Each structure stands twice: as C-alpha cells, then as structure tokens.
Amino acid sequence: MRVLRRLSADELPAFAVQVALAFSGTRPSDEEIEARLRVWEPDRMLGVFEDGSLVATAATIALPLTLPGGHRVPAAGISRVTVLPTHRRRGLLTEMLRQQVDDAREQGEPVAILFASEGGIYGRFGFGVATLQADLHIARRRSAFRERVDMSSLRLVEGRQVAGRLQRIAAEAAAAQPGAVERSAVWWRWVTEAPSPGGAAETEIVVRDEEDGFVAYQRRTQPPAWTGSLDVILLLALSPAAYAALWRYCLDVDLMDDVKARGRPADEPLRFLLADPRAMECSVSDGIWLRLLDVEAALNMRSYADDDRVVLGVEDAFCPWNAGTYAIEGGRCRRTDADPGLVMTAGALGACYLGGTRFSTLAQAGMIDERRPGAAARADRLFAGSTAPWCPLRF
C-alpha cells in the first residue's frame, strides 16, 4: 500500500538520510542530521511510504522572493525532492508536487520556485527558467586587475560569531536583487555553525569592516607540490569597493592555482575588473525555475516599466484555475474577455515573470504565440527590470 503524508517527528531523521544519500551519496552523521532538521519546516515536509518504508521525499520552504521594482512576493520554495531509483516513473513526483502546490495556495503563496537537479523534469509542471547562473574559473596567474584595490578593511572571522552580520548584509543585497530570496536567522546560524561533513574543507569567511560585503570560501591543497584551488561558496557585496576587494582577496590567497565559483550571476562584473577579460572562463546554466500558482495575484505584486497595455492568454493544465486571459495596463493586472496579443503556457510566463527572459525570445523559440504584431516587444518593455534576476542562495 502506498500513501503520501506529512512526516511525524520520529520520521524526520530518515527523511534527512534519504535526501543526503540522493544528492551526495554520503550518509550524514547524527550531528549533521540534527543540524539540518533545525532549519527545515516539519509541517511542510512530505514523504511517500510504501508498506511502511519511505520511498520519496519533498519539502517546501517559505521564502520572500524579490521582484523587479523591489517588491517581495511570498514564494513556496520546493526542495529536497527525491524518489528512490526503485520507484521511478510511478507518478510519485506528480503526487508530491500536486500536494505542495495545493498547500502553497492555502498558505497564500502565489509563486513557487525551485532549483532543478535535472533540466528535463519541471517544465511539464508549468515551471520555467526565470534566472540564469554562471560557473566561473579564473587562473590565478592571469588574474591581475586593471587597477589597484584597497583591501585594508578585510577581516577573517569565525562564522559562528558573525551569523547576524552576514544575514544583515545578505538581506540588504536581496532587497535590491530581483530573483533573490531571504533566509531566516535560524538558517544563517546553521550554515555558519554546522560541522563540515567528513573530509570536507573548512569554510572560511572574510568580512569588510564597513559591513558592506563578505565572502565564504573553501581551500583545497595537494601536497607535496602544494598546488591548490579556492572555491567561492558565496560572495555578496553592497558597494563596488567591497565587490572588488573581496574578489581580489580570493584571487590572492597563497598556494592557490585557480579560483572557482558556482551559481554566480550570468552578467558577473568581475570580467571587467580583470586586465585580461578572457581570464574569467564562464559557463551559463539555468538558475531558479518559477511557476505562477495564482497568475492575477502574482502579476499584481510586481512593478512594470511603463503603463502600456498588453493582453496575455495563459494555458495551464497543472493549475487549471490559472487558464484564461489577463490584461496588464497602468501597472495593474485583471482578467479580461479581450483577445490576447500573446498566448503562452504557464511555464513560459513563469520564465518571463522576473524580467530575465524576453517574451520575444520565447516567441522566436516557438514557446509563445504572438497573435498581434508588436505584442511581444511591448511585453518585453513592460516586464523589463533594471537588474538581471539572480538567486544567490540555494534552498
């Protein structure tokens, strides 16, 4: 017999073990399990059980998501989704997502977001790629900057002593960054105090005295040649001076041959600090996937570049209450009986929601039907933001 339900307190450790094995192949220690369980939301953790055994997991996290214009929308962060290899292609993922979507609507969350471990899964559930992210590689020998950088106010700190400071910097950065989410004080204590998994390098943190930026990184060295690599885990800066100083610090750490960073913004400014812009190698991939759970509410929560009118037809098989036609005019959205200038799936609209994907791009790809000439260009202007969306914090 198979059943989907919320987990009881004594089932949470099994959830943590299954998630860790699915994503890292490593069984966490009891100490690691206890640390992780402190930051999850037990009442939003789901499990599929077959004959009493846990065979699939999913969790939802309440996350404030920054929109173009600086408004925040309560978003349902879909996370910790696993299905045992023995139970694939049995509809378990669909079952869990159905429950998560319904729960999110009850919670008043008009948007759902996630990071996808596989790119071919979530499009069929109405999610679209709303942000891009870049993986960077910079060889230290080629990392000279065009201009000298003042690094005098940088300090190495103990993470457990500065969790509050890091949270304040990250919150201020998120307020100005479309696509960013804000994490709780409990989460920040966890990431700064949790023990490193067995064999993992320690995380080191550098903060500016001005408290306008920080970087968290790990170093790996290989004796006896003492070659090494530095991995930037998170770098956030509230000023150009902090941004330049923190990157220069990472590129100057002794015994490192190169610096790598995952999940950075696709338009990373670092390239333009380098004397040789080609020194920054970059590969771009999908960041957060987004779907609208309540189209009218979500479209009314973001701001628009002007008061122009555009009429959108939305098709949504997974959330059929969204299907219909919406007019955006004067910065407001409402349902309408007018003929749509653009017709699209929920996934296409989700991709465009944060302004990082252009309607005209998706029309060219055949994902949007432009029924009125110029409608895609008008929608591009309407949804455009001054900053490319990016989500610095994974969930």
Q: Does the pLDDT of residue 36 top 90, yes or no?
A: no
Per the residue annotation, which of 127, 214, 326, 395 is the catalytic one? 395
Question: What's domain 293-383's architecture?
Answer: 2-Layer Sandwich (3.30)
Identify which of 238, 288, 291 has the alpha carbon closest to the alpha carbon of residue 263.
288
Residue-wise pLDDT tens digits, 138-190: 999 999 999 999 999 999 999 989 999 999 999 999 999 999 999 999 999 99
Q: How confident is the model at residue 194 (pLDDT cuts 50, 70, 90)?
A: confident
Q: How confident is the model at residue 195 (pLDDT cuts 50, 70, 90)?
A: low
Q: Does the pLDDT of residue 341 top 90, yes or no?
A: yes
Q: Where are the domains of the chain?
A: 2-109, 134-286, 293-383
Q: pLDDT value at position 197?
A: 63
Q: Does the pLDDT of residue 215 top 70, yes or no?
A: yes
0.85 exceeded by the pTM? yes
Average pLDDT over residues 24-39: 88
Question: Alpha-carbon distance 216 to 394, whole Å?
Answer: 14
Residue-wise pLDDT tens digits, 74-130: 999 999 999 999 999 999 999 999 999 999 999 999 999 999 999 999 999 999 999
Average pLDDT over residues 375-394: 96
Q: pLDDT value at position 200?
A: 72
Q: pLDDT value at position 227?
A: 83
Average pLDDT over residues 330-350: 98
Q: pLDDT value at position 238?
A: 98
> What are the tokens at 80?
């910790």
Active site residue 395: yes
CA angle 66, 70, 71 (to 5 degrees): 70
Superfamily of domain 2-109: Gcn5-related N-acetyltransferase (GNAT) (3.40.630.30)
Sheet holding 368-370, edge to edge: 332-335, 324-329, 310-315, 342-345, 368-370
Q: pLDDT value at position 198?
A: 58
Per the residue annotation, which of 15, 115, 122, 304 is the catalytic one? 122
Average pLDDT over residues 232-242: 98
Active site residue 272: no
Q: Tell me how far apart the terminal alpha carbons of the chain are, to the nearest angstrom.
A: 31
Q: pLDDT value at position 88?
A: 92
Superfamily of domain 134-286: Gcn5-related N-acetyltransferase (GNAT) (3.40.630.30)
Q: pLDDT value at position 199?
A: 61
Question: Alpha-carbon distance 206 to 184, whole Å?
Answer: 21
Q: Does the pLDDT of residue 251 top 90, yes or no?
A: yes
Residue 81 one-letter amino acid: V
Question: Is the fold of 2-109 the same as that of 134-286?
Answer: yes
From residue 309, give the alpha-carbon distance in Å to each of 144, 165, 250, 356. Answer: 48, 43, 47, 20
